[in-house]
Amino acid sequence: MDGVPFVTRGAAGLVLTLLLILACAGGISAQDTVLSYDIFNRAGRLTVWLDLTPCLDSRTIEQLKDGIDLVVECQVTLGVPRKLFGDRRIARSTRASLVRFRPVTDDFLLESLDDSSQIQRQFVSLAGLHQFLHDSMEVSVLTVDSLDTRERYAADLQVTLISLTGINIGADRMPHAEAESPVRFLFRHFLDIAGYGRTEYQTKSRPFALSELERVE
């Protein structure tokens, strides 16, 4: 089977046994957290701003200071609302960042995982990180000119926090990821399915017309 590492029967049995235990915990859906957002036209592109500060709670900060890095994924799905069969999807865009804490210098780092430039920002305090997560997390979806001005649109917004613990490694999201063993490969991908080490926040915008979008340069 091309692309799938070979795993012995004993190793697969061990993985499945552990996963049965871990899958009971599953991911966490933070239904009580309200995501603040705005949708606007930035330089000709439909763009969504998200305030991520409610997602970075005290427990998450403690994990960062304990050496557990955090991947933050912001996904925007743009669609045309329909009465039947759900929204007709037009486009989907994702922004992913890696957040880590450096105990020696007592600062936080945020690294973009979306492009080869690997933009890295340093924050000397938690307040600085919070300010950035409040002001600067934007997801560019697509050009406004490519959309039909006669339609009304709605955006599904999802923020996923992924704790990079020793057993929940997001290797496919990490830059310069090294080759992993077959057991680790299976274990990681089954954990993705089980949602272990993940917290999700979701909301949906009201239907809007393109003429309602504020222009921002």
In a domain, 122, yes or no: yes
Tell me: the pLDDT tens digits for 61-101?
999 999 999 999 999 999 999 988 889 999 999 999 999 99
CB atoms within 10 A of CB 148: 10
pLDDT higher than threshold 50 for residue 22 = no
C-alpha to C-alpha distances, 19 to 12, 14, 46, 89, 199, nearest whole angstrom: 10, 9, 40, 33, 18
Report helix, strand or coil for 71.
Answer: strand
In a domain, 188, yes or no: yes
In a domain, 2, yes or no: no
CB atoms within 10 A of CB 200: 19
Contact indicator for 198, 25 with CB cutoff of 8 Å: no
Range of the domain at 18: 9-210
Q: How far apart are CA 161 and CA 44, in angstroms?
A: 30
pLDDT higher than threshold 80 for residue 117 = no
Number of domains composing the chain: 1
In a domain, 113, yes or no: yes
Half-sphere exposure of 90 (CA within 13 A, CB side): 20
pLDDT of 119 reads 75
Tell me: the pLDDT tens digits for 197-206?
788 999 999 9
Half-sphere exposure of 81 (CA within 13 A, CB side): 12
pLDDT higher than threshold 80 for residue 175 = no
Q: Enumerate helices (H) and strands (E) in the chain, giving the number of each.
A: 4, 12
Beta-bridge mates of residue 108:
101, 123
pLDDT of 102 reads 94
In a domain, 3, yes or no: no
In a domain, 1, yes or no: no
pLDDT higher than threshold 60 for residue 186 = no
pLDDT of 158 reads 95
In a domain, 216, yes or no: no
Average pLDDT, the chain: 79
**pTM of the shown model:** 0.73
Tell me: the pLDDT tens digits for 128-168?
999 999 999 999 999 999 999 999 999 999 999 988 865 54
pLDDT of 133 reads 95
